Structure 1
């Protein structure tokens, strides 16, 4: 009996510690006016992206769900409209695994929309495979597609005044590494078919997100546009929809017990969208609605600059 009580105490203590550290919750208190403003959210049809879209729509923003799946987007729009009363949430197709699709999206957007105030680079995945252009799927979607999207929309963000770019990264960036030689040879930052190998590639792509934001902030100095990278927390989303069945069997019970729901996971993204006065923190990494320090490689000026230059070449921008 004593052993059972001790075990229960250890489990409850561990649960308490985890919910106050690794699975800590935060609440966005930002309240910037959004009426009359336009936001693009990639992957806005599910998970953190949909929760972000719902909150911005409730505040009166025009919200564009930039997604690959029309049916999911239309279902999300119907739900957002029902919950917020907004009639200003629309779908525009983009497939981040295709640089051609990203260019087509931005061309249509720039012809049909007069302003852009928020770009939320939210979409991401953990998977194996290749993009339409032959890049590793995680590098191509999580970093390169968003890199091109951002670059092509920068001028419109500058025109609107006070624009912000919020890019979802992850605490997984801590375990990332940028191997430029491997990228040149394989068009990827990680190779292999095993789960741990494409998880490592995911970490690498999330490091790219932090480095991209770090370098972008330098290039935006002197403009009215700011940028932030975000760790949303460990969240129950469709991020791991491509993992194997045995992994789902292991992950799902833990996720239900400990992981944040998408609304909780959206709070730091919303903080970077809506919190007034954070402009001096442009380029920083945020977690739990606060700027956090990052490890050396994640703020290495030389690596960030080289990643930018390599990404420009891969996207055909230079």
Structure 2
């Protein structure tokens, strides 16, 4: 049983996050302290739009060489042009785009094999809220596409690029407030592997519910898988920080953050119907209230930008491996997990990525 103070801190953090979801527009806009990034290099995945694009522009404005890692060549090229036009003096070659689909582990391996040069900021931002209509629910490797896209691709990418990380590199993961709802899985000590690996026989109620949904064309909710993938990012940041410290890479840091309720292109891909309210009520509610409650992407991106800029300095204060919101460290579910359970999760990730992460 965790100490009472830890439980209190966790639930206080949860309450703050829930309040932020509703009242973020009433909060004072965040101010990101500038830092010269001249000579530094950043990779931002999913940088052709939304939070990733906002982070890429801000890093470029402060002098960084920025690689936009995108899965669509045309959108990536358009994003490069947009970033360059947003900067007053971006030199030729300052901003580039390379093809990367984090939902395809082969694409991840090719990207990493072709990467040349030191990396100061590695921002894992690419993700999906649900598989695209008509697309496969499984990746090429036979894994859940949400799990692969939102988490496993970034896990593998970090491993393959680890020897190219600068001595004070900052690894930043765009998680979500939804990670709190995904925490329950990781706090169940008996679970050995993520749900997309476990097989079980559904009960009568579950089978009946499935039949009713199938009859009315109601899809299974993507919310649980999304929440788990975002919780995995929070756990990964903590465990990666521990590995950095164990290998005496004490200036390297890993951080996860939530942008809160942010108006991103994810909602443009999400249509709401009566079926949506039954299959995915949370996303339906967010879609309906987005224009009144959500903050814009520049505001939502600020905590991630701050961590990319100052993450190494934050780490000097012992705050590496944390979960952040509005530039404040929150107490995540990771503090409630057993070390044995954390190790099991890491082993599952290694198995699914087809690697052994020494060190």
TM-score norm. by structure 2 comes to 0.75
Structure 2 vs 1, CA of residues 282 and 169 (structure 1 numbering), >3 Å: closer, same or farther? same
Question: Alignment partner for residue 141 of structure 1, among 126, 136, 149?
Answer: 149
Structure 2 vs 1, CA of residues 252 and 316 (structure 1 numbering), >3 Å: closer, same or farther? closer
In structure 1, runs of 5+ residues without a counterpart are: 1-15, 187-191
Q: List, as ranges, runs of 4+ consecutive aligned residues in structure 1 with deviation greater than 6 Å.
A: none
- Once the two structures are TM-superposed, the CA of residue 251 in structure 1 deviates from its matched residue by 4.3
After TM superposition, the structure 1 = structure 2 runs for residues 248-259 of structure 1, keeping only pairs within 5 Å, are 251-259=286-294
Quote the Cα distance in structure 2 between the aligned partners of 1:17 and 1:238.
20
Query: Is structure 2 residue 311 aligned with structure 1 residue 284?
Result: no
Question: Alignment partner for residue 215 of structure 1, among 239, 247, 250?
Answer: 239
Query: Is structure 2 residue 294 aligned with structure 1 residue 294?
Result: no
Structure 2 vs 1, CA of residues 48 and 310 (structure 1 numbering), >3 Å: closer, same or farther? same
Q: Match for residue 262 of structure 1?
A: 297
- Once the two structures are TM-superposed, the CA of residue 84 in structure 1 deviates from its matched residue by 0.2
Quote the Cα distance in structure 2 between the aligned partners of 1:17 and 1:37.
33
Query: Is structure 2 residue 81 aligned with structure 1 residue 54?
Result: no
After TM superposition, the structure 1 = structure 2 runs for residues 62-211 of structure 1, keeping only pairs within 5 Å, are 62-85=65-88, 86=90, 87=92, 88-109=94-115, 113-128=116-131, 129-157=137-165, 160-176=166-182, 177-178=185-186, 179-181=191-193, 182-185=195-198, 197-211=221-235
Quote the Cα distance in structure 2 between the aligned partners of 1:150 and 1:290.
25
In structure 2, runs of 5+ residues without a counterpart are: 1-18, 132-136, 200-209, 277-282
Quote the Cα distance in structure 2 between the aligned partners of 1:55 and 1:218.
29
Q: Match for residue 5 of structure 1?
A: none
TM-score norm. by structure 1 comes to 0.84
Aligned length: 293
Q: Kindly indicate whether the alpha-carbon contact (under 8 Å) linking 2:47 and 2:68 is maintained by their aligned counterparts in 1.
A: yes
Report the aligned-residue RMSD.
2.5
Q: Secondary structure at the match of 1:41?
A: strand
Q: Deviations over 1:165-210 (max 9, x none)?
A: 0011111111112453434336xxxxx8866631011011111011
